[in-house]
Every structure is written in structure tokens, then in C-alpha cells.
Chain A
Amino acid sequence: METEFTLNGHAEVVDAPDHELLIDTLRARMRLTGTKRSCDVEICGACTVLRDGQAISACTTLTADVDGADVVTVEGLADGDELHPVQQAFVDHSAAQCGFCTPGMVMSVVALCLEYPDADEERIKEYLSSTLCRCTGYVKIIEAAQQALEQM
């Protein structure tokens, strides 16, 4: 089945089986490996991408379900060497260790900034609870989110 969508600003058409998951389309078909696979069950958030500005889990989304949508992955955030403010905030706060959660975390914070521009600490913690990190203990990620919210 053909799916037409915008991916990181470019028009794409993919011809994939009906049951193909967005995570496989991105990682295996488009070779965009920034989107990570971990839990496979929409708990960890490592595969978070934006669909029309909203955070979704690519591991439980059918590719067919992004037909006509605007999809942004972590690869689509920076403008050349110019980092997106959320990425810069993660850099400034050393908010990554192993980095495996980081693309999903960055995408979740982007979605948070769009959805709740005035989020306070409690809201940040609640929002980011659908994105797991096993390394950092979240402290520096929350600080990065606060900086991003201030700057965006």
C-alpha cells in the first residue's frame, strides 16, 4: 500500500505492506536510525516522533496511519549545524549519557514545548513519564526541558 507523507520537510511516498510499523519504515526502509527501538509496547518513548506536531510512538503506529501527515524525526530538528533549541538545551545540561533514550526524549520535549509552553516542573515530570531513561535519573533532562521552555 502506498503512503504519502512529509518526512522532515520532504515529500515521501512509501510502498509498504499494510501491517508495516512506522518504526520499521523509518529505520529499515528510510535508514533513519535516530528513532530508537527499545520496549516495542509504547512505554519507553525511545521511538517518539512527531505526527502533525504531536508525540507518537513509532513502534505502535502503522505507517499507513501517517498518510497525509507531517512527520518529524530527530534527524529533522537541526538546521545544518544549528541545533534546535531543545537539542541545545540537552547539550547545555549534559542531559544524555548512553544516549539511547535521547532522540525520543528530545522529541518528547519538543512536543511538550508545543503542547504546554507554560509547563511547570510537575507538568514536565508528568509529561516526560511516558519516556524512560535508565541512565540519567532524569534530573538533567528536566533541567534541559526547563531551559527549552524558557527559550521557545
Chain B
Amino acid sequence: MGPNEAGQRRQRKDIIDKVTGRARYTSDLEVPGMAFARLVRSKVAHGAIRNIDTSAALALPGVVCVVTAKDFEHLDMYYGESVLDQPFLSVDRVRYIGEPFAGVVAETQEIADRAAELVRLEVEELPILENAAAAMHAETLIHPERPADPELANVCSRSVFEYGDVDRALAEAVYVHEATYTFPAVYHYAMEPHAYLAEWTSAGLDMWAGTQQPHKVRADLARIFGVPHNQVRVRVPYVGGGYGSKGQAKYEPVTAAMALVAQRPVRLVNSINESFHTVIRHAAVVTMRTGIGADGRIIARDSQVVYDTGAYADKGPRVARKGAYRSAGPYSIPNSRAVGIAVYSNRVPAGAFRGFSTPQVVWAGESAVDEIARHLKMSPLEYRKRFLTERGEPFLGDDAPMDADLPQGLQLAADAIGWDQPRPPGRGRGVGSGVKDGGGGAARVEAEVHLHRDGSVEVVASTIELGQGPQTAYAQIAADGLRARFEDVRVRAVDTWGQRFDPGTNASRSTISVGSAVYDAACQVYAQVCDAAEQVMGTSQDLRLDGPDVVAGGQRKPFVEVLAEVRRLQPDWLGSVSAIGVQDTTKGDGPLGYSSSFYEVGHSAVEVEVDPETGVLTLVKCASVADVGFAINPEGCEGQDEGSTVMGLGHTLYEELEFNGPELINPSLVDYRVPRAEDLPHDFHTILLENRDGPGPFGSKGAGEGGTLGIAPAVANALEDATGVRIRDLPLTPERVWRALRAHEEAQQLNIAEDRS
């Protein structure tokens, strides 16, 4: 049956709370007896800890306790996604500037802040490995306990994907393009800093956390504190932005540890400066060799991607693995070898960030393809359309077949900026396409739908409302499955007590996985109501729920009466008008160990204008196509794509975490420039492509990351189109553009001079 509610523009379930200031975030919460915490962070990038002097801090009136690793020698203090290398407070070493080595708990935030400044760290300094490039060839090891890589030092992980015969194909190629592209470290800037509230009660640990992965956090807390899962409760109120920065455990363990020692509820709310020192996007260096056959086709690609994962692994190994895998896309390339290396350095740890490793490799790949098309004197648009992976073709060797029409999407983006119209002088146009294997594969998830006696509906699904809109979309999905009214459906906030396991709200996975389970549950409840109605009303024809009433076959009866009667008629009636829906995607295999559940696709097309005097690059037009399969909540999908495109504009034009050696020198919004309203392209379009070809409810796919993928190369490609200058490093700041224009001009003059002589 086709959707009725899904696909409609509906008022967001959370919006009244949000416009009135009533929405509660973790940083707003307070419980009786609560104390306030501040972490004390290292000013040294790399050192062996000799002593931590807490006496002055402890002497300050109002200080409840000061904790260090010494207080937790009985615990396994380490956590991490795949590598347990990060202690919640420094154990014997500090490995980056900003690493927390002590925690202060006090009666007020002000006292905690003052006391934190009084804690003294004494270290024996160790050689500093300021970035991945330095660390790969260093003698010093940041994590000496980790297994050594055969070739390089300080390798956190190395992933290799290979199919076909790359060396032979490169040897046979008529043209081999080789270049290195760099992508800077950038910061999520979720506007709500990391925030937590922990309390130990006789029932165990009660934790409020602004997290994207409460079940993963629960498992970490249970392991670290040696308590069973049923004694760890993680509740997630509204979260002020995530974009990956609030995935896996962050400061939940240390907050719980402080609460344990303080024997009080403790709230920890980072400052933004501290969140800058918590997790960032990996800086990457991508080296690509691309071999072209006689017909112009890409016959081989050999890429190496080095991701600077900073002092701790966080999600670095997975980032490097996925990045390597994705570096061969989105073209159909018969021979490929991709190596992804995550390298430790004495920098802020890098982890998940919207796009998850893909913006880095798409920046390289889509710049390279443009350079190749120009070399072949072909239109960059036509070249791409000819060689993009076709619908139904296995992706990257042997992954699930491409589920999208890539050339169609790219053409839509190009059309939206008037690609075929004559270019005004001084302007250039460019496109970029990115494909990211979507999340939601390799998991079995469940969701519950409950139909209450008054006809109201409750959905219990472990997806965090980060702003991406599951509370609204799931209500639409459930309303369709139950043929109920949207306004009668509510989706509960996430609480690990009594709610089903979910791997996490990330990777654009929720709609196709949890959303499908919600639909399944709603359809099951619908079948139960139909069964009851047939027995009580003698019909279930066109049954729907209209507020408190069941309407079927021209009759109307309050649901509460239908329920009472069916139970009277049939004491053993099994319908509970609640159901558990399931979505199981654990089957299948592919290069990643499972086949991709769907492909998240983003196409960008831009027209830019460059001021040769200042190097300022202005986006005149920008179009983004999000291939969402089916938009359950069209306004929500648009908003996600607009937001991710503008976030992508950040790393394209403005954003870069700057380091002086290992020290982050712009950890403040004064110096770290994120996009503002005035930066919006004059002509800015988001287009939703809905071919109903996804695995989610009604053919939907995941969305919300695609906008970050193609925008940077599209702009660099447009810059070359306008000026003839190719820049392979981001961001495209006025200074960088201006220098490149100067260098280009000088080179041309030199050529002219040489030609004359």
C-alpha cells in the first residue's frame, strides 16, 4: 500500500519545544544535590607523568573531590571503538595538548573552574610527533603496546582493498594521472558542547548523556565499572548537534567516575574550547594514480590515504578502512588497489564526522577525474556521466549493485545551475559526485509500536533526535503502517532502560533500519486491530484509526470498546495491540564483510566567481542533489541536505584547524570560521531525487551526509574552469587562491619569455 502520511510536509514533533526554549538538553539538566565538574587538561603534548599535585585544588573551599587515574587503579580505564587505547583520565602518559588527566568536582561551576587551574601536572617530556607525516617515520612510539606495522611507525591501522590487476592495468594505460591532495583537520562544532550528568543509586548508574550511541556507551560503562547492563541506564534528552562528534563513549566514563568518588550526582559540561580538544575530523593526505584506457575509461586506480588519527584511535581505524574502500568510487573501475592508513600523532584525536572519511577521498577523486577529463579535452560533466557506475552494476568490484541512477542525479544538479548556458566572463562551473555506502547493514534492529486504549500511539525506537528528525519521520511511518493520524503518534526519547538495542544514530542508517522496524511493528498492530474489528464490528474493510475511534466498513466505534468487546467475546484473544518490529540486515557479504544496505549519493554543481585582486571566491550558484529514494518528510530531507552542503562549504572555503607543532591554535569561534548566513550562495538549490529505489519504508534511503561529499571538488573544479588554476589543498581561502593565481601568472609569463628566447 502506498504511503499516505509519509511524503507529506508535517510539523516537526519537536519544534514547539525548540522555538519556545522548553527543549531540555543535557547541559540544562539539574538534579537535587548535584555537583559541578571540570576536567583538567594537559598543556604538554607528550610526556610521561611524574606527579599530579592536587593539594592546592583540594584546599579550595567548596571543592568536593579531585580525581586522577590513581583513584581508579582497580578499574579497566580504557575505552575506544575498536582499539581500547584511551583511558578516561591519563594513566602514565599524556599524549596531546588538551588531554584530561584530572577531574575536579565542586559545589559550583565557578569553584570547579578555579580549582581546575590549581592542579599541577609534572611530566618528563617525550619527543613530540606533531602530525602523521612526522609520526610515520619517527623512532618514538605514541602507543608502544600496539602491534607494529611492517613499513611505518605509529600506525594505528592499515586497510587494503584490492581487486583486478592494478599494476598491469597501469602499465597498459595510455595515460596515467598522478596527484596528491590534502584535506585539513576540521571541527564539528556541534553547538551544544559535550555534556553529561551521572548519578550512582542503589539501582546502579543513572546517566544522562548527549550521545549518539547510548547502547555502545552502556556497554563501555558496564565493562569499565564492572556492573551488568541492567544497572546502567543511559538517557538521552535533546542533543544540540552531533555530526559524529558524540559517537562512542566520550566523557561518560569520566563523569561516572567522578560521581562515584563524589558520591553525588555530577554534571560535566564542556566549554566549546574543550570540545575542540575532544574529537575532530581527520586531516588526510590522498595520493592517487589513475590509469586511462584508449577509450577514455578509467581502467585502474591506485590510492593511498593517510589519515591523522591523533593521540587515540577513536573511530580512526574504521574511518581509514571505509575511506580506502570508498576511494575508488563512484566510477566503475575494473582494477583497484586502495590503502587506508590511520596514523597516531600527538594531536587531538580524530573520529567520526558527517561523511565519515568520504569527503577526504571524494575531494581527491573528483578533483582527479576533472583533471583527467580536461586532459582528454572532454566535458567534465559528460565524462563523468559516461563512466559513473551504472544502476545494477556491482559497486567497487563485488559490493551490492548500485541502487541509484548516478548520471541522472548529476545531470539534475548541472541543469539546476544552467550548465549549458553560456558562462558569464570571469566565472567558472564545476561538478562533483560522491557515493558513500550507507549504514544500516549488518545489524538486526527492533522497534516497538503501542496502541493505547484511547487510540494514541507510542513508538519506542532507539534513534536519537539530533535534529535530523526521527521523531517526526517515525511518526509518519507508524501512522502509515497503522493508518492512524500523524497527530496521534508520539515517538519516545531514547532510554536504554526498557528500549531495544541499537548500534547508534549515525551513518545515515536510522530510517532504513530502525524506520523499517517501526513500519513492521505498526503493520503488525494494524493486523491485530483488523482482527479485533472483524470480530466485534464484523468488518475490517478500509480500516483506519481516527483519534479514539476505529473506522471500518462505514462503521465507527471507539477503540477502547472494540478492545473490551473482543476480549469478552474471546478471552484467549492474543492481540496485545503492541508489536515488536524487526529489520534484519545481517545477511550478505561484500568487500566490507557485509553488503552495503544502500548507497548515499550526493551531487553538487556550482558556479563561482573569482576576484583576481583578492583571491576571494564567491559562490554564485550552488545546487545539490540528494538521492533520498523517497522523502518521508520532504522538508526534513531538504533541511538535512541544505545543512550538509553548507557544512561542506565550511571545509571547502573557510575551515581549518591550525596547529603550531602539536598545539591547536584556533580552538575558538573567534578564530575558527564556520559558514554564516551571509556566506550562502546567491542562488542555492537542494533537489530531492525520489526514484523509490531504497531499502527503507516506501523506497526511502538514508540521507543527510551526501551534501558534504561533492561540494569541495565541485568548487575547485569551477575554480579551474574560471581561471585555469588547479588547487589540490583545502580550504580554498582567499590567500591560497591569490597565491595560486600569482604563481600561475608568473609561470605563464615565464613560458612566454621562454617561447620568445
Identify the A interface with B (CB < 8 A): 27-28, 31-41, 43-44, 46, 73-75, 77-78, 83, 87, 90-91, 93-94, 96-103, 106, 124-126, 128-129, 131-142
* Nearest B-chain residue to A34, judged by Cβ: B21
Q: State whether B22 touches A34 (Cβ < 8 A).
A: yes
Identify the B interface with A (CB < 8 A): 11-12, 14-25, 27-28, 30, 109, 188-193, 238-243, 271-273, 466-469, 635-636, 638-640, 642-647, 668-670, 674-680, 684, 686
Q: A98-B240, A98-B466 are in contact. Are A132 and B191 (CB under 8 A)?
A: yes
19 A–B pairs (Cβ distance < 8 Å), ordered by A = A33-B24, A43-B669, A46-B191, A73-B21, A75-B21, A91-B16, A97-B639, A97-B643, A98-B238, A106-B19, A125-B677, A125-B680, A129-B679, A131-B677, A134-B241, A134-B643, A135-B639, A137-B645, A142-B677
Note all chain B residues with C-beta closer than 8 A to A141: 677
- Residue of A33, A78, A125 with most partner-chain B CB within 10 A: A33
- 3 nearest A-B residue pairs (beta carbon): A34-B21, A100-B240, A97-B467
Q: Complex formed: what's the CA distance from A15 to B241 in Å?
A: 34
CB distance from B27 to the nearest CB of A (A): 7
Further 8 A-B residue pairs, CB within 8 A, beyond A43-B669, A94-B636, A126-B678: A33-B21, A36-B191, A38-B669, A41-B670, A75-B20, A132-B669, A139-B638, A140-B638
Note all chain B residues with C-beta closer than 8 A to A94: 11-12, 15, 635-636, 639
Q: State whether A138 touches B20 (Cβ < 8 A).
A: no
Q: State whether B678 touches A98 (Cβ < 8 A).
A: no
CB distance from A94 to the nearest CB of B (A): 4
CB distance from A4 to the nearest CB of B (A): 23
CB distance from B378 to the nearest CB of A (A): 32
* Nearest A-chain residue to B275, judged by Cβ: A38
Q: A34-B20, A75-B21 are in contact. Are A129 and B677 (CB under 8 A)?
A: yes
Q: A39-B668, A134-B189 are in contact. Are A87 and B635 (CB under 8 A)?
A: no
Q: A38-B191, A129-B677 are in contact. Are A97 and B468 (CB under 8 A)?
A: yes
Q: State whether A99 touches B642 (Cβ < 8 A).
A: no
Q: State whether B27 touches A37 (Cβ < 8 A).
A: yes
Q: Complex formed: what's the CA distance from A99 to B639 in Å?
A: 13
Note all chain A residues with C-beta closer than 8 A to B466: 97-98
* Nearest A-chain residue to B24, judged by Cβ: A33
CB distance from B303 to the nearest CB of A (A): 30
Q: A35-B21, A38-B272, A41-B669 are in contact. Are A96 and B15 (CB under 8 A)?
A: yes
Partner of A44, one of B22, B28, B191, B647: B191
Q: Complex formed: what's the CA distance from A3 to B461 in Å?
A: 47
Q: A34-B21, A37-B27 are in contact. Are A136 and B639 (CB under 8 A)?
A: yes
Note all chain A residues with C-beta closer than 8 A to B14: 96, 99
CB distance from B99 to the nearest CB of A (A): 21
CB distance from A19 to the nearest CB of B (A): 9
* Nearest A-chain residue to B17, judged by Cβ: A99
Q: State whether A100 touches B22 (Cβ < 8 A).
A: no
Q: Complex formed: what's the CA distance from A134 to B650 in Å?
A: 10
CB distance from A71 to the nearest CB of B (A): 14
Note all chain B residues with C-beta closer than 8 A to A135: 241, 467, 639, 643
